[in-house]
Structure 1
Amino acid sequence: MTRSITTTEFMRDFGRYHDEARIEPITLTKYGRPSVVVVPADLYARMSNNADPRRSYLSNETPPELAEMILSVIDDRLEEDDQGPVDDKPLR
């Protein structure tokens, strides 16, 4: 769960909360209700670039982290195949 503070409090001590928001998101409230969430820039970039987890990529566009994960699962399956049938073993 993200930390919540009032917008007024955020404005009063911007430097402190700016630094904290770089570590983890902070929810700003207005009139006691969540209004906006301040997130680190890299998290925002990841969220806005990958809004749909079903997105498909050309082989030369696949993000390195995703390519590593896919290759790891393939390697694991190949190793399991060398050890006999794995029909009952689900993918991760």
Structure 2
Amino acid sequence: MRQFTTGDLNKQVGDVTDAASREPVVLTRHNKPRFVLMSYDHYERMRTGADPRRVYSVPEMPKEHEELFGEAIERLARGEGYDDEP
């Protein structure tokens, strides 16, 4: 997650809001995190629970995810998937 100071927000509002449109950003004041700025769509997904993404630890990963993860690791080990993806 990118970080900006509250001073950056005042001076570079375009850069900060562009970054926040892609992912939440942290706004700091006196070197301490104070605020998070994010797009309204991201906020709504988070607020309503409509964001389907979930983080799993390895032991609790569903079998179908484990298989997809294993296949992706094998592709990368063979040198595939680095430059061939859009």
When the two structures are superposed, what TM-score results if normalisation uses the length of structure 2?
0.55
Instruction: Give 1:11 shift.
Output: 1.3
Q: Which runs of 4+ in 1 moved over 4 A?
A: none
Residues 5 and 27 of structure 2 are in contact (CA less than 8 Å); yes or no, is this contact kept in structure 1? Answer: yes
Q: What residue in structure 2 maps to residue 81 of structure 1? A: none
Structure 2, unmatched stretches of 5+, are: 53-61, 65-86
Over the matched positions of the two proteins, sequence identity in percent amounts to 31
Q: Determine which structure has the larger helix proportion and give its number.
A: 2
Deviations 1:11-67 (A, max 9, x none): 1110121111101111000111000111111110011112xxxxxxxxxxxx7x87x
Q: How many residues align?
A: 55
Q: Are 1:34 and 2:33 counterparts?
A: yes
When the two structures are superposed, what TM-score results if normalisation uses the length of structure 1?
0.51
Structure 1, unmatched stretches of 5+, are: 51-62, 67-89
Q: Which amino acid aligns with 1:17?
A: V
C-alpha distance in structure 2 between counterparts of 1:16 and 1:30, whole Å:
18
Q: What residue in structure 2 maps to residue 3 of structure 1? A: 2
Instruction: Give 1:91 shift.
Output: 6.0
C-alpha distance in structure 2 between counterparts of 1:15 and 1:30, whole Å:
19
Q: What residue in structure 1 maps to residue 72 of structure 2? A: none
